[in-house]
Chains A and B, each alone.
Chain A
Amino acid sequence: MPEFFQFLVSGLTVGAVYALVALGFTLVYSASDVVNFAQGEFVMLGGMVTVFVSTAGVPLPLAALIAVGVSIVIGLLLYWLAIAPARGASAISLIIITIGASIFLRGAAQIVFDKQFHKLPSFSGDTPVNLFGAAVQPQSFWVLGGAAVIVLLLYVFLERTLLGKAVLATAANRLAARLVGINTATIMALAFGGSAAIGGIAGILITPITLTSYDVGTQLALKGFAAAMLGGMGNPLGAVVGGLLLGSLEAFGAGYISSTYKDAFAFIVILVVLFTAPQGLFGRRAVERV
């Protein structure tokens, strides 16, 4: 039994990161119909910028803040320089643009930073906490708590503020959103910036556990995409559940079956979802589309 909890905790911890990446996918997809495969690069940026800025002597919290800022700026640039000019292009073209952007960001990171793996110190030390017989890293609580706070803030923003409702309106019906005076280009920029911030924070929280390097974004984008598909692309709650589920699946698979095939689970999930339930577990949030 202790090993069950051990797997569960590590699965949920990694799953929380997948959930945040999936949330980024969902946010951007809802506002703009773009599947942004550069989503994983924001996680990389969050971790890498924090590592390099703090190594330069800046205190960790400030370095983290700078890293989130950098992620947001890159997210906005991605929208303004690559996505907005291609408005009206087909879904496939836009996906190719985001894949191109992710390759570019990875290449730039390799030059600006380096090709090594990097670690951040755990925020609250490395003494494991015993929970139901499982030894839990304190950083796991930071990841899970951080993810919970982000989800809660996003929920409050979307459901309780006029700007948040404008995001939901844009997701539900872009034509109608424009007809009531919503500047949908601003909403899309907001979605790109917001999902970049979420990705950046995820990268900062998880780096003490998993390490980071210039190329961690690719795998994470894939896992986050699988999680978003699992939950139903465009559904924020589905993204969170999908992420936690995928993380757990990986951890149990690696623990009970074989760790060699750990990364294959995401592919299997994508395939199974595509074949059996293309709408995902929760379907799409928007009922009406133009």
Chain B
Amino acid sequence: MRGSLRVLEIGNLRSAYGRIEVLKGISLEVRVGEVVALIGSNGAGKTTLLRALSGVQPITGGEISFLGERIERLPSHRRVARGILQSPEGRQIFGPLSVEDNLRLGAYLRRDNDIDEDREKIFGMFPMLKEKRSQLAGGLSGGQQQMLAIGRALMGKPKLLLLDEPSLGLSPVLIDQILAAIVSLRAAGVTVLLVEQNAAAALEIADRGYVIETGRIVHSGAASALLSDPKVKASYLGFE
């Protein structure tokens, strides 16, 4: 069993685009050292939830606690400073900047002396990035950009890493590589909230999971339990 200290605790979180409510009271928690999968079909509200956690999407109600402190009123840069880093959907790398600059900007708020060392660790994890370190990020392939987006988030020394669809648009080989990277991150003690449409793959590597449907959590439990739950199987795991 992983630690019982809660890294993240969300209570009754609500968010809307204009008058359309997209998160209708989400409650969930992530404990230290866990990989928690958040699965659900397209449009369920997964990206909106992660953006609300990072402070780049306004909320209309509810609370967010991070390491025991309320953070729902903090601006995005203060949340990053506390250790919430996100690799967003669609990668969102800094295209006109070099791979190295992208990684350096991931550590924008850090003032310690281990930044170069951490960059080398990320190069060790994704050797492809090292080869292309001085190239413009916009010229990388989709898979390489995804690795860069994850690497950039890791450069911020996350206490909680939010990953939004890291497998989107990647080949099966690359998906395996990304999932292996997440597993090794967990081994290194990083706490991860993983959003995936690729539910089976996410639950394979997660400790626990939540299923979100049109802005509400409809199932939750141990990843293995969700994997064998007939309702979850029918809706999210295809023919397995």
List the interface of chain A (C-beta within 8 A of B).
Answer: 162, 165-166, 168-169, 172-173, 175-183, 285-288, 290
Per-residue A-contact encoding for B94-118, CB less than 8 Å = 1, 0 else: 1111000100111011000000000
Pick from A177, A178, A288: contact of B96, CB below 8 A. Answer: A288
In the complex formed, the residue of B with least CB distance to A289 is B95
Q: In the complex, are the beta carbons of A173 and B94 less than 8 A apart? A: yes
Task: Looking at the assembled complex, report how far the CB atom of B98 sits from the nearest CB atom of chain A, in whole angstroms.
Answer: 10
List the interface of chain B (C-beta within 8 A of A).
Answer: 54-56, 75-77, 80-81, 85-86, 88, 92-97, 101, 104-106, 108-109, 136, 138, 152-153, 156
Q: What is the CA–CA distance of A230 and B152 in the complex, to the nearest angstrom?
A: 35
Pick from A168, A180, A286, A290: contact of B108, CB below 8 A. Answer: A180
Q: What is the CA–CA distance of A197 and B88 in the complex, to the nearest angstrom?
A: 36
Pick from B88, B109, B156: contact of A175, CB below 8 A. Answer: B88
Task: Looking at the assembled complex, report how far the CB atom of A161 sits from the nearest CB atom of chain B, in whole angstroms.
Answer: 11
- Most A-side CB within 10 Å, residue of B86, B97, B156: B97
Pick from B75, B77, B94, B109: contact of A176, CB below 8 A. Answer: B94
In the complex formed, the residue of A with least CB distance to B102 is A169
Q: What is the CA–CA distance of A175 and B90 in the complex, to the nearest angstrom?
A: 11
Chain A residues within an 8 Å CB radius of B56? 175, 178-179
Q: In the complex, are the beta carbons of A179 and B54 less than 8 A apart? A: yes
Chain A residues within an 8 Å CB radius of B136? 287
Chain B residues within an 8 Å CB radius of A175? 56, 88, 92
In the complex formed, the residue of B with least CB distance to A179 is B86
Chain A residues within an 8 Å CB radius of B101? 165, 169
Q: What is the CA–CA distance of A116 and B125 in the complex, to the nearest angstrom?
A: 67
Q: In the complex, are the beta carbons of B85 and A169 less than 8 A apart? A: no
Known: A179-B56, A180-B80, A182-B108. 20 other contacts (CB 8 A): A165-B97, A165-B105, A168-B94, A169-B94, A172-B94, A176-B94, A179-B86, A179-B153, A180-B85, A180-B105, A180-B108, A180-B109, A180-B156, A181-B81, A181-B109, A183-B75, A286-B95, A287-B96, A287-B136, A288-B92
Q: What is the CA–CA distance of A165 and B152 in the complex, to the nearest angstrom?
A: 14
Given contacts A165-B104, A179-B85, contact A290 B92 (CB under 8 A): yes
How many pairs of A and B residues are in contact by the CB < 8 Å rule? 81
Q: In the complex, are the beta carbons of B104 and A162 less than 8 A apart? A: yes
Chain B residues within an 8 Å CB radius of A287? 95-96, 136, 138
Q: In the complex, are the beta carbons of A168 and B76 less than 8 A apart? A: no
Q: What is the CA–CA distance of A177 and B75 in the complex, to the nearest angstrom?
A: 13
Task: Looking at the assembled complex, report how far the CB atom of A182 sits from the nearest CB atom of chain B, in whole angstroms.
Answer: 6
Q: What is the CA–CA distance of A215 and B56 in the complex, to the nearest angstrom?
A: 41
In the complex formed, the residue of A with least CB distance to B98 is A165
Q: What is the CA–CA distance of A168 and B97 in the complex, to the nearest angstrom?
A: 8
Given contacts A175-B56, A287-B138, A288-B138, contact A181 B108 (CB under 8 A): yes
Q: In the complex, are the beta carbons of B108 and A179 less than 8 A apart? A: no
Q: What is the CA–CA distance of A162 and B108 in the complex, to the nearest angstrom?
A: 8
Q: What is the CA–CA distance of A177 and B101 in the complex, to the nearest angstrom?
A: 12
Task: Looking at the assembled complex, report how far the CB atom of B227 sits from the nearest CB atom of chain A, in whole angstroms.
Answer: 31
Pick from B88, B105, B138: contact of A169, CB below 8 A. Answer: B105
Chain B residues within an 8 Å CB radius of A169? 94, 97, 101, 105
In the complex formed, the residue of B with least CB distance to A178 is B76
Task: Looking at the assembled complex, report how far the CB atom of A89 sits from the nearest CB atom of chain B, in whole angstroms.
Answer: 15
Q: What is the CA–CA distance of A287 and B139 in the complex, to the nearest angstrom?
A: 10
Q: What is the CA–CA distance of A162 and B111 in the complex, to the nearest angstrom?
A: 12
Chain B residues within an 8 Å CB radius of A162? 104-105, 108
Q: What is the CA–CA distance of A180 and B86 in the complex, to the nearest angstrom?
A: 8
Chain B residues within an 8 Å CB radius of A166? 105, 108
Q: What is the CA–CA distance of A177 and B106 in the complex, to the nearest angstrom?
A: 9
- Most B-side CB within 10 Å, residue of A173, A176, A177: A176
